[in-house]
Amino acid sequence: MTDDGGHAAPHELTRLVLTPRPQQSPGFALPGLSRRVLVTDDGRGIAAEVVAALVARGVRAETMCAGLPFDDVPPDTGCLILLDALRGPRRPAEASPQLHGELLRRLGLLTRSPAAVDSVVLVHDGGGDFGLSGRQGGGAWLNGATALARTADREWPDITVKAVDLQCAGRPITEVGQALSQELLLGGDEKEVALAADGERYMREFVPAPPVPADRATAVDSRSFLVVTGGARGIAADCLAALATGRSPRLLLLGRTGLVSENSRLAALDDEPSLIRALLEYDKAAGTSRPLPQVRAAAARLLASREIRATLQRLERAGATVRYRTVDVRDSDAVRVCLREARGEWGPVTGLVHAAGVIADKAVAEKTPEQFDQVFTTKVAGLRNLLDATADDPLKTVCLFSSVSAVVGNAGQSDYAMANAVMDHLAPHLAREHPDAHVVSMAWGAWRGGMVGPQLQEHFTDRGVALIPVQEGARAFAAELAAGSGPARLVLVPDEQQVRCWGEKSPAHESGPDQGKLTATLLTHGTLQPELADHAIMGRVIVPVATAVEWMARAVVPPGDAGGSFVLSDIKVQSKLAFDNYPGAEWLSVQRSPAPDGTCALRLGRPGSHPQFSAVGSVGTLAPPAAPQETPEPLEAYTPPNRRFRYGGTSRFHGPMHQVLQEVVHCDPAGAQGIVHGLREMGWDAAEPWRTDPALVDGAVQLAVVWGEEVTGRPNLPMAVDRYEMHRPGPAPGPVTCRVTARRADRMRAICDAVLLDADGGLRAALGGIQLIIRPR
């Protein structure tokens, strides 16, 4: 097998493509939402809608005054929601540097704020699918905020920094505000989500793409005229050499480094220290004196000029026709003039390769405006100028050099990551604008060379990040461009695992005694869980065991877990969890503490207090429950009910939304059977991220209470469940059959098991050891 240039096919780098994966919300609130929430004004009314939706649910939210610096936010602020990227300027390409620079500056100020915020959310409109469809249009120029969030999250281990891609175009402002507020209330601390207009919620997933077919006809040949930035030096030069071999394109290389002449006596000196010494000696002999930094800069220019000349010779030997022009790609007039002159010799431009890049690594709080401008505008303003200058050219190829730092974030590279994230989001948009062109943004992993020096290579090695061999990466670049078609966004790394390695925090945050622990908050409110109002005694809402099971299950079962099976054992009501001011807001805490045996201890209750519910959770494949081992003790005879169930009285206090037990068809000392309706039939909010069907679980407990009252002759209360098993996740599609089987009963308590069976006879859930305690008179 050979490549298009007749060479042996190299070992392929792993090609990954980003895919939106639908995923249910975790079901917990964003950290800090229980304190003051500030929302920056977007100028379109979205902020007002978000604030109104949060306030209606009892959250202390308010719109942040325009221009209020982040180092002066109120001390009790727990959460900042930044909607700056939704302002929608008329010319987003020109507004991009200012927007991203201001976001970076304000986040840097946050580190000096007296407010110990728990979370920061950066919201942008990437079309609700991470920009993959390009339907966000020119707004793609404003979508670097997502990489700023990833980088800040790496640098701030104690703050949750979240990126939300919120599709806004064509939607009512009220709907947009409701969608974002719902994510804040139920999306937990998940770091990046996309919210589409159709209500779908997506997480990012990277999946391997097939290798480029080696026999595909080349899309780059001797008729191609490619304008290349950053290709005269470094790894981009190696990429161009691989592309030129056997294809002989015409290449116009643009770079800021000028070609300088040098004294022939310096030609033999090939390292910077030797050049510096020689230049100092020349200055001394000439009776002049320059500051050492100027001498160092002169030596660096000489070496850079040599490298450029060597690249030009190398490309010509590979068969390319090459021109180099000293042009700052950020200068739109200079770019336009340069391309106009080149067209006079070579004709229309057929392709762009934008590989120019600058790094100036500093933490978010330490970035200077000058550093940001140099790093960000080289990428973003440079591309804008190239596109403007080639607006009338028949482009067939547009290749943007991006970085994996934009995909997962990298400490110290906030500006670089933002600039490359803009490249990634622009590629699908440009593909829509140029349907006949092959547009691709290549997010490269770290190379073994170029800007990655020995010290940085050692850093990557310590993190387990493999480096891309230069020859292998160059061949991969050539194969992509020669293919002439393919995904608009690619991640190119030595292996699939490298994306995970890049995204990890420092080793101190990867393991240790706190690994796997979780403390999450959830908000209860009449607008969120109206069904709780129908589980009240004498005006006080009492949280039922079934609801506690649901909330604790959210800490055990990952969102959207396809397997779905899990177990909660040793479920206990430690004390009554009652709400006196319902439907007002009530904040609760769910805690998960992993154990060495793979289980986890769960606690549910008010923050900072003793838990009201506890359980032990585990996930795994479940077998059908075994038959009970105990035989119920004989009791006095009574008449089986065989009747339509009726609510009323102290034990059957449930309001309409909790009257789930529709019929008791059988009851005797051995057990009972009834028909139970799930949450869908009862009108509970189907959009909640349900792990279980708490209406069914409560129905099973209600039927157990009916059985317990019949066999003991006294009202009773459910106080504990030995084991809850979920075999089928989420809400039931329709009514189910509940069967209660007795274990034992006496004059003080009764114990039974219960199963919930779907219409097809399949087991949905099982409750073992429901303990019913006789209520005092």
Q: Which residues are catalytic?
A: 535, 698
Distance from chain centroid for Cα 742: 48
In whole angstroms, what is the distance from residue 336 CA to residue 345 CA? 15
DSSP characters for 313-345?
Answer: HHHHHTT-EEEEEE--TT-HHHHHHHHHHHHHH
Identity of the residue numbered 669: P
In whole angstroms, what is the distance from residue 315 CA to residue 322 CA? 7
Q: Please state at what angle helix 234-244 crosses helix 470-483, rounded to 10 degrees.
A: 50
In whole angstroms, what is the distance from residue 419 CA to residue 415 CA? 6
In whole angstroms, what is the distance from residue 745 CA to residue 771 CA? 10
| One-letter-per-residue 3-state SS of 391-449 | CCCCCCEEEEEEEHHHHHCCCCEHHHHHHHHHHHHHHHHHHHHCCCCEEEEEEECCECC
CA distances, 663 to each of 651, 656, 735, 764 (Å): 16, 15, 11, 19
H-helix or E-strand spanning residue 750: strand 749-757
CA distances, 215 to each of 9, 58, 687 (Å): 10, 62, 49
687-704 b/e (C-beta count within 10 Å ≥ 16 → b): ebbbbbbbbbbbbbbbbb
Identity of the residue numbered 21: R
Task: Count the residues in the chain.
Answer: 777
Do the Cβ atoms of 120 and 82 come closer than 8 Å?
yes
In whole angstroms, what is the distance from residue 701 CA to residue 386 CA? 68
Do the Cβ atoms of 322 and 315 come closer than 8 Å?
yes
User: Residue 769's closest CA among 536, 537, 532, 545?
Assistant: 545
User: Residue 701's closest CA among 488, 568, 546, 596?
Assistant: 546
User: Residue 13's closest CA among 256, 211, 215?
Assistant: 211
In whole angstroms, what is the distance from residue 469 CA to residue 722 CA? 57
Pull the structure tokens for residue 554: 């959210």
